[in-house]
Amino acid sequence: MSTRSVPPPARPRVVIIVQNLPVPFDRRVWLECQSLVGQGYDVTVVCPQGEGTGPSQVVDGVRILAYPPYAPGGGAAGYVLEYAWSFLATARLVGTARRSGRFDVLQACNPPDIFWPIARWLRGRDGTRFVFDHHDLCPELYLSRFGDDAGAAYRGLLFLERQTFRTADRVTSTNESYAAIATSRGGKDPRHVRVVRTGPDPERLRRQEPAPHHRRGRPHLVAYLGVMGPQDGVDLALAAADVIVNEMGRDDIAFTFMGSGDCHGDLVRRRDELGLTAVVDLPGRVPDAFVAEVLSTADVGLSPDPLNPLNDVSTMNKTMEYMAFGLPVVAFDLAETRVSAADAARYVRPNDVVEYARAVVALVDDPAARAQMGRLGRERVEQHLAWEHQRQGYLRVFDELVGRGTPAGVAEAGATTEATEATEAGHAGVAHDASVALADVEA
């Protein structure tokens, strides 16, 4: 009697589209990729190339197809050209990847909200399901930069967002505020929206031995980590450093602002104009090892995001990374920042640079408070915010779409529960008006 071996079932194929950051540099997307690979999915990512990366590579089981980035600048016209280039390059690479077989699920991460036509094409051709990984609020991002809610650009962004929501089979939102946008402005069934927070990895992000040379001969170090765009408030952090050094006369504090973005060059020039060249280091985008050294040496982490329609409802990754390193945080008093940081941060009246500077100095001078806040932040990451607490909810979305899990709509009913618990814990004592208009909310 002969026996024939039965081939194992094919792994479900997933393609993930990212435009604003290369992978694996985009940490949220990389955690998602690793979770999917660990669950037995075949994962392909289409993204822009990063420094030192080529058009095709395989990293830890993830196939990465990348196109040369194109960012001409020049205001609105520059964004249109950049997004048109990204869309065409992405569509080409998705088509290339599809030659190896149909995709079961496509995930598109925003910004921008332009990839829904690719999802519709794959759905019509192969029955591919579409997950919208809701990272940002593009209309609110536009308002925060340009303040024009009556023009064609703003209406166009609302249209693109609406089409993305309508096309999506599932939405994974980074916080409860974004989930509210998905169900209200996006019209999604709440059962098809799941809050998946961008939790840090506490095993990878943890305090190590300090590297005193980062203090550059001073007793204390204050750090910033993140993007340096117009809405990120690094200019306010630099202004606070100016108050601390040039007005308060504190020459015992060094500042390191890590990251890059549209404003990096302007920040370097402004630093030099203020006479802070020896005090404020602006090294640009730096390796993970450099980040770990700085955050293990620093006394305080800065979250200077100003109050605007985007930031008030957005979850700031840098805040949670500071907490993972046991750093106390100084932040402007924003609704979702309180949800994330709770008692691990000192909250300052929004956009008040002088009060922000005073809060930084007060923490630098209070080692007991720093230790207590750092401990609370680290515990909050380990017990509530870490990716391990988000991973199963994220994977359940995909398992349900490919028929591996419980029927659609069952598990989702609990999707807002964990978000609501986190919101209630984080909002204890929040000074913000709870009736913030949904149009002014972001994750």
- Rounded-to-integer distance, Cα 54 and Cα 61, Å: 16
Question: If you search the block for the tokens 């750093």, which residue do you land on?
Answer: 327
389 in a domain, yes or no? no
CB 241 within 8 A of CB 276: yes
Residue that is last in its domain, among 360, 384, 408: 384
**Dihedral angle sign, alpha carbons of residues 288, 294, 300, 304:** negative
Domain termination residue (choose one: 169, 195, 221) = 195
3-state secondary structure of 171: strand
Same domain, 190 and 272: no
Is residue 348 assigned to a domain?
yes
- What are φ and ψ of residue 111, in 5° steps? -80, 160
Within-domain flag for 413: no
Please identify, among 138, 164, 195, the residue that sits at the C-terminal boundary of a domain: 195
Question: Is 225 found in the same domain as 135?
Answer: no
Name which of 338, 424, 320 is nearest 382 in CA terms: 320
pLDDT in tens, the chain (443 residues): 455 555 556 799 999 999 988 999 888 999 999 999 999 999 999 999 987 778 999 999 999 999 999 877 666 777 889 999 999 999 999 999 999 999 999 999 999 999 999 999 999 999 999 999 999 999 998 888 887 777 888 999 999 999 999 999 999 999 999 999 999 999 999 999 999 998 888 998 999 999 999 999 999 999 999 989 888 999 999 999 999 999 999 999 999 999 998 899 999 999 999 999 999 999 998 999 999 999 999 999 999 999 998 999 999 999 999 999 999 999 999 999 999 999 999 999 999 999 999 999 999 999 999 999 999 999 999 999 999 999 999 999 999 999 986 444 444 434 443 433 433 333 333 222 322 222 223 33
Residues 242 and 180 in one domain: no
Does a structural domain hold residue 103?
yes
303 sits in which H/E element: strand 300-303
Per DSSP, the residues of 218-287 read: SSEEEEEES--STTS-HHHHHHHHHIIIIIS---SEEEEEE--STTHHHHHHHHHHTT-TTTEEEEES--
Q: Give the chain's domain count.
A: 2
Residue 408 lies in a domain: no
Give a yes or no: residue 165 inside a domain.
yes
**How many Å apart are CA 440 and CA 436, to the nearest integer?**
7
Could you tell me if 177 and 229 lie in one domain?
no
Do both 153 and 227 map to the same domain? Answer: no
Structural domain for 162, as ranges: 13-195
Looking at the structure, do residues 187 and 219 belong to the same domain, yes or no? no
Q: What was the pLDDT predicted at 21?
A: 87
Q: Which residues contact 8 (CB under 8 A, 6 or more apart)?
A: none
Examine the domain organization and report whether 175 and 250 are in the same domain. no
- CATH code (residue 106): 3.40.50.2000
Torsion over CA: 290, 292, 297, 299 (sign): positive
Tell me: do 189 and 253 sit in the same domain.
no
Domain co-membership, 228 together with 366:
yes
Q: Are 22 and 130 in a shared domain?
A: yes
Do residues 281 and 253 touch, judged by C-beta distance below 8 A?
no
Per-residue confidence (pLDDT) for residue 4, from 0 to 100: 59
Q: Does residue 5 sit within a domain?
A: no
DSSP state of 191: G
Task: Indicate the pTM of the whole model.
Answer: 0.81
The answer to whether residue 435 is domain-embedded is: no
Looking at the fold, whether 98 and 181 belong to one and the same domain comes out as yes
The pLDDT assigned to 54 comes to: 85
Same-domain pairing of 253 and 173 = no
